[in-house]
A and B are shown apart, each in its own frame.
Chain A
Amino acid sequence: MKKQRPVNLQLNTISFPPAAITSILHRITGVALFFAMMFVIWAWAMSVSSPEGFALVQEQMAGPLGKFVAIGTISALTYHVLGGVRHMIMDMGYWEELESGDISAKAIIAAWIILTILVGVVLW
């Protein structure tokens, strides 16, 4: 038995495989969306209920904080949906090998970054 086994639990020195990164991002965006729903439902409830509420939400959405929340929420939702779709494809038995899992993980992260930039450019 080798005695020189690596004992390393320093998280910042461990390199995570892409599949691990997609997994933790799915969790982070999921928890983020739970909190984001407070803003989304508030904005929706105000804006559909009265013209004054609609104007208020429009005003809030035009400011930097409103834009940040909106882009952040859409970005988190985009990632969570992409990760969810990947999950369901894996449920059906595809992309379960090391190579295909690696590629699909990198692909959804790339798609997420591109879509977030796109949404950011349109909304800002």
Chain B
Amino acid sequence: MVTGQASLKRNGVQDYVTTRATALIMTAFSLFMGWYFIATPDITYAVWNELFSGLAMKVFTFITLVSIMFHIRIGMWQVLTDYVKAPGLRAFIQFIINLTASVYVVVGLFVLWGV
């Protein structure tokens, strides 16, 4: 049976793999940015703007933002199911959180588009 990452219906294995896969991408991005801030002596607007103008950096940033969205969806769901018992309230909070996570991605897309 071929289910799991390719399936549209969520399951525990898929959540498990997605959390870790996205975590690796976000960790790589964080380490890269950490290194960038340490290695770049004087960060001006020109230098900062140029960093995000390259295609590779746009792709890296966008994939990281998508990873953040998936990681938020799973992680916040795990926390919410433990602490918020009322189904209606949980669904509402989940909706707001998932919407916010989508906004992070869309804002990122348009910002990267304009750089």
Contact = CB atoms under 8 A, between A and B. Distances in A.
Chain B interface residue bracket vs A: 20 to 34
B79 A37 contact: no
B95 interface: no
Interface string B87-115: 00000000001001100100110010011
B36 interface: no
B62 interface: no
A49 B20 contact: no
A19 to B, nearest CB: 17
Chain B interface SS verdict (over half): helix
Nearest to B52: A48
B107 A54 contact: no
A31 interface: yes
B55 to A, nearest CB: 15
Interface string B60-104: 000000001000100110010000000000000000010011001
B20 A91 contact: yes
Interface in B33-52: 44-45, 48-49, 52
A109 interface: no
Contacts of B115: 48-49
Interface of A: 27, 30-31, 34, 37-38, 41, 44-45, 47-49, 51, 54-55, 77, 81, 84-85, 88, 91
Given A41-B108, A45-B108, A51-B45, 10 more contacts: A30-B75, A30-B79, A34-B72, A34-B76, A34-B97, A37-B104, A49-B114, A49-B115, A54-B44, A88-B20
Interface of B: 20, 23, 27, 30, 44-45, 48-49, 52, 68, 72, 75-76, 79, 97, 100-101, 104, 107-108, 111, 114-115
